[in-house]
Structure 1
Amino acid sequence: MTISKVISEDCIILNLKVHSKEEVIKKLSERLIKKGAVVDKDRFIQDIYKRENMGPTFAGDYLAMPHGHSHCVVNPAIAIARTTDEISWDNNKNLVRLIILLAIPKDLKREIDIEILKNVTASLGNIRLIKDLLHASTKEEILKHIYSTAK
């Protein structure tokens, strides 16, 4: 599997007008359902919140990386939203504008596919990349920045 199979334009939402973390997670989960990466939206969202309860997914610099490690995920995938306004992400009132939702299958036989997700998330530690994603004008630009930094 290549990175282009994991993340595509149809799973990117720019200038999303939402007021809460819950709204963002629902919108991104719907994109993953349409892509065919997730088969049960409600259960997938439950798995995301189960993970959220284990520890923070706020990564700093207006970035949050929620993820669902779920039996509902049939193909690893990434969905991205950039909001028009900052939203409060957690109890600490950390503000985010860039949300990268990872859909991770529980099937451990898919280690090659999961390695792609790991490479993408590792590249998100690059502050320059985060700034580029926050200022990109188009979905194509978002993909270009991610593809150029993820191995």
Structure 2
Amino acid sequence: MSLAQHIARQREHLEAFITVLEAERESLSAGQVDGQRLSEQARQKQAQVTQLERLETQRLSAQRRLGYGEGRQGAETAARDAGCLDAWLEFRQRALHARQLNQLNGLLIGSRLAQNQKILDFLRNAAGQALYGPDGQSRLGSLGGVSSCA
């Protein structure tokens, strides 16, 4: 298989990975998160990563067999010599895009986790205290600053 064919296969799987990342971002941005859907997307994401790693190992092995170095410079030189430098550079750009999407999704997950933790902390605090005082007035003001006033 030529280097151009290796890059084309990697690009195809990278685009599928990006599609999963975009769907995951949409799921994480929804008002109500569908846990089952997110789990399926995580499974798909892992399958794509595994495939991309396998293809990268094959490409790198072919690159080494042809006498090129393993780093970025070796990859670019190999692509230039094989006449597919543009395809390689486009692949790298899309890989950078995938990395940014994945980081964004990680931030969204962290934000959701922090929000859920605050809710849990509030509920734990509320469960340990009476919600109304002896005068019948709400004590929610003392539970994390939540006011019962409209």
Scaled by the length of structure 2, the TM-score of the pair is 0.23
Structure having the higher Rg: 2
Scaled by the length of structure 1, the TM-score of the pair is 0.23
Higher strand share: 1
Higher helix share: 2
